Amino acid sequence: MDKESNRYVILVSMVAAIGGLLFGYDTAVISGGIVFLRTHFGLDAAEMAWAASCALAGCILGAAIAGVISDAMGRRKALLLAALLFTVSGFGTALPRTLTEFVIARMLGGVGIGMASLLSPLYIAEISPAAMRGRLVSYNQFAIVTGMLVVYFVNYFIANLGSEQWNVEAGWRWMFGSETVPAILFLILLLFVPESPRWLVKQGRRDEALEVFRRAGGDAHARDEIVVIEEALREESGSLAQLVHPGMRRVLTIGVVLAILQQVTGINVFLYYGPEIFRQLGTGTHAALLQTAVIGVTNLCATVVAIRTVDRLGRKPLMIYGITGMGICLAMTSIAALYQNAALWVLVFIIGYAGSFALSVGPVTWVILSEIFPTRIRGRAMAIATLMLWAANYLVSQTFPILNENAWLNERFNHAFPFWLYAFMCIVQIVFVRRFVPETKGKSLEEIERLWAVSRPETKQEGRSRPLKIDN
């Protein structure tokens, strides 16, 4: 690939990754607003959990429909729909008169998050050459943590514009409304990017796909990609029923379990409830918001390292090292939380946990999910995994405030019990990744697809039917 092709692929990927930025922005804006929102509407623990996690119910719906929509109308148009939902949600969450109105607006934004969480890495993977794919898909995770970091500082600066009472009455509205700026930018920039070339081939629009691949990697790259995609499409039925075949059933199971494990290790507890956690440990409101921003900076720096190493070190080593760090930091957070006045140590361990996640599980899970499913059913298959990811996220986010404020548990664990639970799930994740996840570094999407084939049509004709070997 020449420099011009590299530049083209990177620019297009960066536009698609704004969907990830909005994903991060929309999910993390609640961390600053939830304290004031709770006071404004007089919410108890269960109601606060619903206000914080209602967007995740929308995420589940968005993930469920994104694959079908993107397979029917294209990845780009589906991303445009997500951008529109982000914009509507930004206005809606800034102007609610009741909690119900706020929840409806948040759920619309959640649908956009669910769609973007699937479509942005999927689009980038389908337009990227194999040698750059891990790094470019990781741009999406970089955009997610950038969105989180930006909104942490936006929340902090808005909170400092007025008194506590002003924040309860109006500050939180400005926090949620600020999302409209990146949402409108995303909507405009999407008008200038091409459709996914793999989706174009699937629709029989070969010439258009050739032109996109040509701009992304030159004439030889375009011809080679078209040939392998057409070959892969001829061998696939295009139905979800194909996923129950032995080889496909295995890849779907791996994708779903990876998606669930990314969430049940507790990352979004710190992203959504960080200021509330620090406040419970004796930190003031403004200091708690600033400490949450420090976690965002850590996320961003670690993600940069992940982007630079995922195509060199591979997916599995990064995952295993990072999960180990997460488990250790969660265990130490639990121990620190048992003691009073341990806010500084809790901050240190949470920063270590967030950095380990951003170095590994955060970006690499999305890289793997964007790679492993067959071309023709990739949108719908990835939708299943992404839907389960958001369902797990909802479960964790909904249960944390209840576990964290349970009197019986706090008498014995002093807010530490949830962290022990998430640390145990890190152990489960390490075992699963080591045992079942293959290394996909440097392989084309079509080569990865062939890893899962239990039997090829041509081998059946030759009287041979055996699975292809998978490198672990």
CB 175 within 8 A of CB 192: no
Q: Encoding tokens for residue 377?
A: 């059913």
CB 48 within 8 A of CB 96: no
What pLDDT, in 10s, does the model give residues 390-438? 889 889 988 888 887 777 777 777 777 888 999 999 999 999 999 888 8
What pLDDT, in 10s, does the model give residues 242-268? 667 766 778 888 999 999 999 999 988
Backbone φ/ψ region at 414: left (φ over 0), alpha (ψ -120 to 50), beta: left
Q: Encoding tokens for residue 271?
A: 């992203």
Average pLDDT for 220-236 = 78
How remote is the C-alpha of 240 from its chain's centroid? Answer: 23
Chain position carrying tokens 């030759």: 462
> Does the pLDDT of residue 284 top 80, yes or no?
no
The domains found in the chain, sorted by start residue, are 3-193+236-461 (1.20.1250.20)
How far is it, in rounded angstroms, from Cα 157 to Cα 324? 35
How far is it, in rounded angstroms, from Cα 374 to Cα 378? 5
pTM above 0.75, yes or no: no
> Does the pLDDT of residue 68 top 90, yes or no?
no
How far is it, in rounded angstroms, from Cα 99 to Cα 102? 5
